[in-house]
Structure 1
Amino acid sequence: MLQIYELVFDAWGRRFFDGATVSLPKDAKVGLVGRNGVGKTTLFKLIQGELVLGSGEINLPKTARLGVVDQEHAATPVTLMDTVLAADLRRAALMAELETAEPEHLGEVYAQLNEIDADRAPSRAAEILSGLGFSNADLDRPMAEFSGGWRMRVALAAALFAEPDLLLLDEPTNYLDLEGALWLEARLQRYPHTAMIISHDRELLNNSVDHILHLADGKLTLYPGGYDDFERQRTEKLRLQESVRVKIEAKRAHMQAFVDRFRATASKATQAQSRLKMLAKLPPVGAVVEDRTIPFTLPSPEKPLAPPLIRLEGASVGYGAGPPVLRGMNLRLDIDDRIGLLGVNGAGKSTFAKLAAGALPLGDGQMHRDRRMRVGWFHQHQIEAMDPGDTPLEIIRRALPEASEAARRARLAQFGLPALKVETKVADLSGGERARLLLNMVAMERPHLLILDEPTNHLDIDSRRALLDALNDYDGAVVLITHDRSLMELVADRLWLAADGTIAPFDGDMDDYARFVLDRARVAARAPSQVAAPAPVASQPPVQVRKAKVPTGPARRRAEAAEAALARAAGALAAIDRALADPAVFTAQPAKAAALGRDRTRAQAAVEAAEAEWMAAQEAYEALKADA
């Protein structure tokens, strides 16, 4: 479907592609991954012809239709349904032709409409719009009535409806809620043609694509399978590369030693020259340099507060004199709770976050809130609200007025902003750099409660993993709102659901919630006229209040940390065993072989200790789960 050959592209003072070559299979679903800033979006622009190649080729079949998602659809007076239907250019042209065609040609036009199944187009469009959160009542509303975020969804709906031969999606889940992301994940699995998706959503890349295209060092490498398969294959590839490098360097050193010893000896001169030629032909193999991800700094509170941090009894909250957005809430938040807050956009998740953060007053009911509690609140609009003329150094000067300039710069370095970036204007920082700055700053005062509203929108996969590690090391309470299912599953111990104008505990896990979302989308597809409005939610799964349960968060995190430590210890032992498996180590480097033997004894002891810790932690966690 898509062939890229020896692509070279330079722009903005750097080289993005350096002889990149790849061929995508027909009808493949491909996840394009790579660190932020390596050129993923640039590749999309090159494929679309928006940028001019330096050299090389990008080839598509001549008849292939290319589809992209605009940032947002224009605010026109055209209705939502007609806007999506117009995205199928062939159908739109045939429908227009019906108005002007001569009677003797009408049969031919109708035959072409039947060929593309034009009669099903409205129901197919309604199915897609329903999955993305639009209600049946929205279908006749003009585009001008929708906000920018909803018009972004319209652009995605239009691209999916048109079903181009090559669909390019750049971070499609960034402007979707979790429910929309779950629906899109299932939809992409069934997409009938080739699709290439830039995404940092691990679950989407595991469940919706059958190939991963990795962009690094100006090269493109295609791996079969999902993201977890890619990680395993790439790790093995790097291990083999390092093994080959070590062997070649050993061979190079051996031949060089022979040349150095016998070059001046007449009887050995010919052999020395032969080895010099062999040295010149040895292929260069670069050392494996792992990309390092700067960790997040989320310091735990110095002293825990007495539980609960927050208790709501019959609580309601809203804005001004209008009706409450949320009512009748009976919730308790303790010091070690990890709450995942679910619900469609508009159901009240951000309203609850404002109430918990103290940014919105309580309406009716009672709220018991420890006055000493410090809250770190990151919300999705903070990044857009930053002053583009500000710099990180100016921002931290206001936050730390008493600190020295060296201390401020050191703190920014901990946040992952090196010296060259601290005086860079916010407008010139990447989205990931701005997100890192704000996420670290909201936790700077050691809060007892972290409220994170869509924290991952601008983070790549490695940075999301670093955030997960930081959250699992953090000892305070967390309320998490995110469309990243992987982060939600690995952080949240309990789920709350915003639905029907209230928030209550959800009796189930993320798999249960994913099944509910997809079942609701299937029902809506069968009966579009009964699709529920996106907000307030009219149909949700039965919400049951769980019995009081023993908090399992600390035990689970201890078990996960012990499992990771066991994996590291086992990996170190395996590396030593591989080195000892080489007979040349014992013959050529007996001292190294002896050292490796001692290292192996220590590594074996470390594995046994890590295994014992893991078993103890896992048993404690399972016992707590049984009592919960």
Structure 2
Amino acid sequence: MATFVDILKKEFPQLDAELLQYVTDVLEGGHSDFESENDVFEAVGEILQDVSGDTKDDDDIRDVCLRLYRTMCLEDNHAPSKSQVLLQSPIQLNQISDHYDVDPQIVNVLLMKKGQTSSVNVKKLEKAEAKLKAKLEKRTERDTHKPSGPLVMDEASASQAASKKENRIENSGKNKSYDIRIDNFDVSFGERVLLTGAELHLAAGRRYGLVGRNGLGKTTLLKMLASRSLRVPSHISILHVEQEVAGDDTPALQSVLECDFLRESLLQEEKALNAKISSGMGDGTESTRLSEIYSKLEEIEADKAPARASVILAGLGFKHSMQQQMTKEFSGGWRMRLALARALFARPDLLLLDEPTNMLDVRAIIWLENYLQTWPSTILVVSHDRNFLNAVATDIVHLHSQRLEGYRGNFESFMKTKEERLKNQQREFEAQQQYREHIQVFIDRFRYNANRAAQVQSKLKLLEKLPELKPVEKESEAVIRFPDGFEKFSPPILQLDEVDFWYSPDRPIFKKFSVSADLDSRICVVGENGAGKSTMLKLLMGELSPVQGIRHAHRNLKIGYFSQHHVDQLDLNFSAVELLAKRFPGKTEEEYRHQLGSYGISGELAVRPVASLSGGQKSRVAFAQMTILCPNFYILDEPTNHLDMETIEALGRALNKFRGGLILVSHDERFIRIVCKELWVCENGGVTRIDGGFDEYRDILQEQFRKEGFL
């Protein structure tokens, strides 16, 4: 492939060495900045015209510039040729103009060097350089002042070492095992290394819980598996429940049934064959093929598919009427449930779930726990719900220190085993340190004793052969602190009395319901999605006004409100420090950093764009915003979504220490047990208090499942 240097030499043989070098430098220096052949012509066209004299006209020069531009574009996708200069570092665009600010006298000296002559007009050379300089300055200024558009995010990538034997087995098609074994792989997100030299072994039919702190790469690992960036045998089908179902005119039940591609294709073929027979256009082979189709449909139990799909949808909260609704009529949360239903119905060989309980209410979570316990193939699920993992997982994969570590058993077994492993590791390390010190004392004592030289040498060799053990690396403790805004008020503090509310009169949400809370309240609100939990919170805060009835709030009440939607509405282009400064101006950067540090957003995390933070880290930023004004009453809507287990525990401890009132909507059973003293169930247009707490509520739901035939 000809380089632009080759083109210049061929088209302009009269171009002397020094001028050729100058033109080459201009073309290479502005290489990444040229957007068309016109840019190339503006940069060097007049110089080339002067060199060519009368041999080439303006069109010829433009044609050469076009060839130069195309050649440079091609070279972007190839290794540099020998005649090109291989740059040792990136070119800074804001320095290019200074780089080519050439003194005309120096240019003249270069041109006349070694007695060579040139017909180049120095003034035109200056003019060409000035044009290039002005163009670059203008572009730099434009880039500096252009409005900020969507933030370009770093991309995840994975690399994996594979042996020739593995490649041979995979390519031969003889691998029939449904076990997954991925050895010696790395995963990165942009420049940040998440996993290095990691191993992941998934035995067919086991259910794995993937756990680890926020921001370490659990979601990224699932994406690498789903995209097959990490090598999963090609005969193993994978489904990753990540995106909501696109809304269209397909009924929800039919949307689930369509996931069984074999059944759908057989039914379509059956329909087409029957149409041929009815129209008399068949050739006589249709009956034979129909028999084969009916046999296959019977084999895969196609007639039972609608019932199975309906049971899955009902378990996830879709009432019978909802199953006939078109998918476009559902909100994003319900479409995510529909995506989960489709995955459960399709039964892939490897099911990847990322925080499946975030989109579900307590009733649906309990149903999903029971359903997955009989799942026939392999599951890898990211979850921070301890009770869910205890019910579902047969194994735990712990992501920490850029590696993966496997444990048999559910989450409680993992915690006990991990604690024992860490104790043993620390004991071994301390014992070895004592042994090393004992040997070192002997070496130091007899180092210069000629009679003990052989023993000293033996001890030195013994030290060298000892394996290098490391002390236990303790993970930093999750930190959350809620400042007290406490002062004694006489109750009632917050009250709804005989309240009616609806968005549409024909669909009332609440009728004549009354609730109250004070500064000692620790209340959890549960209920099915759509029962009105979030609406009740907005009525309590005064964001919505009752159609009838009264809301009463103490005049000194300051409510802090957390919604899972607040996390989604953070401005991704700003850092956490900038977000606080924008919303609460007048404080120093140190004060903003201190506030964020109270929620574990410290160091470089505080100044990174929010877009680059994990879901749990974004939640912490939202907590920092919520508490900066020191509320004395908190209303929290699903605060544990996206938080890791350590942070959920820290949140529970912080709320227990907080001297003020709390109303909480949550589906995390362990968190509810840690924090709440009262349980309210939102149902049937009102609120019912469950005296027996969460245990009684769970028993009620289990009994409902048995009556409905789900268990």
TM-score w.r.t. the length of structure 2 is 0.70
Give the match's secondary structure for 2:604: coil
Counterpart code for 2:405: T
Deviation digits for residues 479-531 of structure 1 (CA, Å, limit 9, x no counterpart): 1101212111221111111111112313432222223334434544579xxxx
Aligned length: 521
Q: Distance in 2 between matches of 1:65 and 1:406?
A: 51
Alignment check: 8 A CA contact 1:127 1:525 kept? no
Q: Which has the higher contact order (CA 8 A, sep 6+)?
A: 1
Matches within 5 A, 1:27-46: 27-46=205-224
User: Aligned residue for 1:86?
Assistant: 258
Q: Does the CA-based 8 Å contact 2:495-2:551 persist in structure 1?
A: yes
- Is 1:64 aligned to residue 236 of structure 2? yes
1:385 to 552, 559, 569: 569
Is 1:355 the counterpart of 2:355 in the alignment? Answer: no
Q: Contact 2:595–2:624 at 8 Å: present in 1 too? A: no
User: Given that residues 98 and 109 in structure 1 are in contact (C-alpha distance below 8 angstroms), is that contact kept between their aligned partners in structure 2?
Assistant: yes
- 2:191 is aligned with 1:8: no
CA distance in 2, matches of 1:368, 1:99: 63
Match of 2:578 among 390, 394, 409: 394
- Quote the Cα distance in structure 1 between the aligned partners of 2:266 and 2:240: 22
How far apart, in 1, do the equivalents of 2:584 and 2:336 lie?
Answer: 38
Provide the C-alpha distance between the structure 2 equivalents of 1:110 and 1:237, rounded to a whole number of angstroms. 57
Please name the residue that 1:485 is paired with: 669
- The 2-side partners of 1:278 and 1:86 are apart by 67
- 1:229 lines up with 2:413 in the alignment: yes
Aligned residues of 1:343 and 1:498 also touching (Cα < 8 A): yes
Match of 2:445 among 261, 267, 282: 261
In the other structure, the counterpart of 2:249 is 77
Name 2:323's counterpart in structure 1. Answer: 139
Counterparts of 1:220 and 1:416 in 2: how far apart (Å)?
Answer: 24
- Contact 1:130–1:524 (CA under 8 A) maintained in structure 2: no
Q: Following TM superposition, by how much is the alpha carbon of 1:430 offset from its aligned partner in structure 2, in angstroms? A: 2.4
Aligned AA (1:260): D
Most deviating of 255-264 and 474-483: 255-264
Q: Which string of whole-angstrom CA distances, capped at 9 and with x for unpartnered residues, describes residues 414-446 of structure 1?
A: 232224233333323322222112223323333
The whole-number CA distance in structure 1 between the counterparts of 2:652 and 2:625 is 17
473-482 or 106-115, larger mean C-alpha shift: 106-115
Output one character per residue of 1:259-303: Cα deviation in whole Å (capped at 9) or x when no partner.
Answer: 222232222111111111111111111111211133112122331
Partner in structure 1 of residue 287 of structure 2? 103
Change (3 A) 1:113 1:375: same
Structure 2 gap segments, 5+ residues each: 1-178, 274-285
Q: Do structure 1's residue 325 and structure 2's residue 509 form an aligned pair? A: yes
Kept in 2: contact 1:297–1:440 (CA 8 A): no
Q: Is the 8 A contact 2:495 2:540 kept in 1?
A: no
User: Which amino acid counterpart does residue 48 of structure 1 have in structure 2?
Assistant: A
Q: Return the alpha-carbon distance in structure 2 between the equivalents of residues 316 and 175 of structure 1.
A: 28
In structure 1, the residue matched to 2:525 is 341
Gaps of at least 5 residues in structure 1 are: 528-628
The letter for the 1-side match of 2:621 is: L
The DSSP-based 3-state class of the residue aligned with 1:421 is helix
Asked if residue 206 in structure 1 is aligned to residue 390 in structure 2, the reply is yes
Quote the Cα distance in structure 2 between the aligned partners of 1:16 and 1:423.
Answer: 20
From 588, 600, 614, the equivalent of 1:416 is 600
CA contact (8 A) 2:652 2:674 kept: yes
Residue identity matched to 1:469: R
1:44 maps to a residue whose letter is L
1:249 equivalenced with 2:421 (yes/no): no
Q: For the structure 1 residues 43 and 412, does the alpha-carbon distance in structure 2 shift closer, same or farther, using more than 3 Å as the test?
A: closer
Q: After superposition, where does 1:527-606 map in structure 2 within 5 Å?
A: none
What is the CA-CA distance between 1:465 and the residue it aligns to? 0.8
Contact 2:242 2:354 survives alignment (8 Å): no
**Structure 1 residue 322: Cα displacement:** 7.6
Distance in 2 (alpha carbons) for counterparts of 1:246 and 1:526 = 54
Shift of 1:319: 4.3
Q: 2:465 is matched with which residue?
A: 281
Q: CA RMSD in A?
A: 2.2
Q: Indicate conservation of the 8 Å contact 1:183/1:517, yes or no.
A: no
Give the C-alpha shift of residue 337 in structure 1. Answer: 1.1
Percentage of identical aligned residues: 37
Inter-partner Cα distance in structure 1 for 2:546 and 2:248:
39
